[in-house]
């Protein structure tokens, strides 16, 4: 290792697979996670998803080679989660065998030139998704490297890292500076260079793990292509100019107007754009970690960070809906102001997962709890809503009103990008639920869990957390820690008032940020937190929806409580606290939470009977339609009457 080894391994530790083992979820969330690992991640047919790499016959420009790398992103950390849990040795051993077998097949498929993929030579590093696929292969190999290094299997770790180096060296030789293919990297693939440019993320990972300057040089070459060519991605200057993500076409590129699923030149593709910002943030992280030389270089790095933050803030403002999801056919479309309308292909799970990863990275780098607010909202709604109850599959799209159903079959395979990508989203929640960093412990999310960690000087930190949150509005945290330590508790931005007690004594709390208790912790210390969690009305263009805390509420046909299209009467104001909602027993075990609501529903309110309100029922959005039956439908936005002057 060279002088960058300390920086490299510190960066790896920030996203180590061991982190997920430090949170052992219990209760309903633990059950959802356990079934997803068992029925989805551990049940994966690894021979099936690695078969395309053996054949090299892809001529249609498709993306089969992303599936294995995505699976590895979740398989390696979930293996550690199983190994750290109780009574899961057999499942862990089975998953371990699949991971090892998949890696062996991938290494066997690598050509002498370093290429790992399924395109014939004449079509490589060009149109289609070849570079995108190599991105995910590099990520998969490095996940394996990290896992093997953590468990002391140095030889296997180094074999995977060597294969990743050879693959990256191949990309550099083909489409790097002066490459053999005679084209710039950003000119390959789709979406004005977004897809191929997102390889920046694993290139930065490789630099962090090796410290080899040629990979940092290649990363800077990619960033130049991302930011300087007039027709390229332009991820920095357009963001700094305040151009919304949905409006970035027409600035030097010639966007297609056909509205197709795959386009060469448009810049509105959400998944790929956010994937590029992930790599840019990794670059900033390295440059801010001790390598930065100051001056002009420092200003450039600052611009990149500001561009990423401004882009994420624009996404929150213009695109994120009440379920924490976004995008129509994976395209930015000013969706926040259109979420009451029946747009097609809403909330693709790949977009949902990538948005959570983007927020996770921003939370880690900025320590701003507003990004934890975003992860929480997305996780409890769009993310859990896409996960089938038995954990075996993720829906491709989850509309705000309609029903849930199976995803797509991609590339003539019985799988799809969302099913491959979905398990990565749970990792964002697990890693950020509890962290010990810079000798400070932080609770970002609440639920029943055993959590532990260690300070920089090796002091053990552990807590037991019990809660039915967000169904319930309270949480109890019990200390298993015996040392002096500041512990931070996130008070969500949606919470108007929170009440905190330490061993029964009330403490003063301000909302919308972190509340810190710095003390000599003793075994058995108890922190009780209670959040005000009223139901809030959201009015948009003569439609209304309701949220309770971080959860979007929905009516579901299983309640059999009347016509969901009946209008509500005028008078409900945006932001109003609704007093007519009450928690009730769920009618079926499929549902997580249920509420009765007394609302002014119905057009015939001119007579004494019709003037009375009606009682209907709501569940949490994640439970709505979760049977995946076509006759089980739900609704989140409801029409509001117009008056004669409107």
Per-residue pLDDT of 195-239, as tens digits, reads 999 999 999 999 999 999 999 999 999 999 999 999 999 999 999
pLDDT of residue 21: 61
pLDDT at 492 over 90: yes
pLDDT of residue 1: 38
pLDDT of residue 22: 87
pLDDT of residue 90: 84
Instruction: Give me the residue label for tokens 């969330």.
Output: 29
SS3 55: helix
pLDDT at 5 over 50: no
Q: Which fold has domain 440-531?
A: Immunoglobulin-like (2.60.40)
Size of the chain, expressed as the number of residues it contains: 646
pLDDT at 9 over 70: no
The pLDDT confidence band at residue 8, using thresholds 50, 70 and 90, is very low
What's the chain's average pLDDT?
93
pLDDT in tens, 400-445: 999 998 888 888 888 888 889 999 999 999 999 999 998 999 999 9
pLDDT in tens, 493-515: 999 899 999 999 999 998 789 99
**pLDDT > 90: percent of the chain:** 83
pLDDT of residue 593: 97
pLDDT of residue 67: 95
pLDDT of residue 296: 59
- Torsion region of 602: left, alpha or beta (phi above 0 gives left; psi -120 to 50 gives alpha): left
pLDDT of residue 290: 55
pLDDT in tens, 241-284: 999 999 999 999 999 888 777 888 999 999 999 999 999 999 99
pLDDT of residue 266: 94
Mean pLDDT of the 131-149 span: 97
β-pair type (440-443, 484-491) = parallel
The count of other CB atoms within 10 Å of the CB of residue 298 is 13
The tokens for 328 are 């129509």
- Backbone φ and ψ of 192, nearest 5°: 50, 30
pLDDT of residue 598: 97
The pLDDT confidence band at residue 18, using thresholds 50, 70 and 90, is low
pLDDT in tens, 299-348: 899 999 999 999 999 999 999 999 999 999 999 999 999 999 999 999 99
The count of other CB atoms within 10 Å of the CB of residue 585 is 7
pLDDT of residue 395: 94
Strand stretches in 126-236, DSSP E: none
Question: If you write DSSP's letter for every residue of 97-158 in order, what string do you get?
Answer: HHHHHHHHHHHHH--TTS--SSS-GGGTTSSSSHHHHHHHHHHHHHHHHHHHHHTT-HHHHH
Instruction: Give me the residue label for tokens 């960093």.
Output: 437
Nearest to 136 by CA among 420, 531, 522: 420
Mean pLDDT of the 284-305 span: 78
CA–CA separation, 55 and 117 (whole Å): 9
Q: Where are the domains of the chain?
A: 5-250+268-437, 440-531, 535-639
> What Å distances lie between residue 396 and 161, 165, 345, 627, CA to CA?
32, 33, 8, 15
The pLDDT confidence band at residue 606, using thresholds 50, 70 and 90, is confident
Q: What is the pTM of this model?
A: 0.96
Question: In CATH, what is the architecture of 5-250+268-437?
Answer: Alpha/alpha barrel (1.50)
């Amino acid at each position: 290792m060279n002088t960058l080894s300390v920086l490299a391994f510190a960066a790896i530790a920030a996203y180590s697979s061991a982190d997920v083992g430090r949170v052992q979820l219990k209760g309903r969330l633990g059950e959802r996670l356990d079934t997803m690992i068992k029925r989805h991640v551990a049940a994966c047919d690894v021979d099936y998803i690695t078969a395309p790499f053996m054949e090299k016959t892809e001529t249609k420009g498709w993306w089969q080679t992303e599936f294995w790398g995505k699976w590895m992103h979740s398989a390696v950390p979930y293996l550690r989660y199983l190994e750290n849990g109780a009574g899961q040795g057999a499942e862990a051993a089975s998953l371990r065998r699949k991971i090892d077998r998949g890696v062996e097949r991938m290494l066997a498929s690598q050509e002498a030139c370093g290429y790992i993929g399924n395109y014939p030579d004449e079509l490589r590093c060009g149109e289609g998704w070849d570079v995108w696929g190599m991105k995910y292969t590099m990520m998969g190999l490095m996940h394996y490297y990290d896992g093997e290094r953590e468990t002391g299997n140095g030889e296997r770790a180094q074999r995977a890292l060597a294969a990743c180096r050879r693959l990256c060296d191949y990309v550099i030789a083909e489409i790097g500076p002066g490459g053999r293919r005679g084209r710039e990297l950003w000119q390959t693939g789709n979406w004005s260079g977004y897809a191929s440019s997102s390889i920046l993320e694993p290139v930065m990972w490789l630099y962090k793990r090796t410290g080899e300057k040629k990979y940092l040089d290649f990363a800077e070459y990619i960033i130049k292509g991302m930011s300087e060519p007039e027709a390229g991605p332009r991820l920095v200057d357009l963001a700094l100019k305040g151009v919304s993500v949905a409006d970035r076409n027409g600035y030097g590129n010639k966007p297609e107007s056909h509205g197709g699923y795959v386009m060469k030149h448009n810049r509105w593709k959400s998944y790929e754009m956010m994937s590029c910002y992930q790599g840019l943030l990794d670059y900033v992280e390295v440059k801010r970690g001790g390598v930065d030389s100051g001056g002009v270089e420092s200003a450039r790095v600052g611009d990149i960070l500001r561009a990423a933050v401004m882009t994420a803030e624009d996404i929150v403002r213009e695109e994120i809906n009440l379920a924490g999801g976004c995008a129509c056919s994976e395209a930015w479309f000013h969706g926040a102001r259109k979420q009451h309308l029946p747009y097609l292909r809403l909330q693709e799970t790949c977009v949902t997962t990538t948005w959570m990863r983007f927020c996770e990275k921003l939370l880690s780098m900025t320590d701003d709890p507003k990004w934890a607010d975003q992860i929480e909202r997305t996780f409890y709604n769009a993310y859990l809503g896409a996960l089938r109850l038995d954990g075996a599959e993720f829906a491709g799209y989850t509309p705000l009103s309609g029903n849930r159903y199976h995803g797509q079959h991609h590339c003539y395979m019985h799988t799809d990008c969302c099913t491959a990508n979905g398990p990565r989203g749970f990792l964002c929640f697990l890693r950020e639920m509890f962290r010990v960093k810079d000798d400070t412990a932080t609770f970002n999310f609440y639920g029943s869990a055993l959590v532990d960690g260690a300070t920089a000087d090796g002091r053990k930190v552990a807590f037991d957390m019990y809660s039915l949150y967000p169904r319930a509005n309270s949480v109890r945290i019990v200390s298993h820690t015996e040392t002096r330590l500041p512990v931070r508790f996130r008070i969500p931005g949606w919470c108007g008032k929170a009440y905190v007690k330490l061993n029964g004594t009330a403490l003063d709390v301000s909302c919308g940020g972190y509340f810190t208790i710095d003390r000599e912790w003793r075994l058995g210390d108890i922190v009780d937190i209670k959040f005000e969690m009223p139901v809030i009305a959201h009015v948009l263009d003569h439609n209304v929806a309701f949220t309770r805390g971080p959860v979007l509420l929905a009516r579901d046909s299983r309640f059999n409580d009347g016509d969901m299209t009946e209008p509500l009467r005028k008078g409900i104001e945006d932001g109003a606290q609704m007093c007519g909602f009450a928690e009730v027993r769920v009618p079926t075990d499929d549902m997580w939470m249920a509420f009765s609501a007394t609302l002014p529903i119905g057009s015939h309110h001119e007579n004494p009977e019709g003037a009375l309100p009606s009682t209907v029922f709501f569940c949490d959005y994640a439970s709505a339609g979760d049977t995946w039956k076509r006759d089980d439908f739900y609704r989140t936005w409801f029409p509001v009457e117009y008056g004669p002057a409107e």
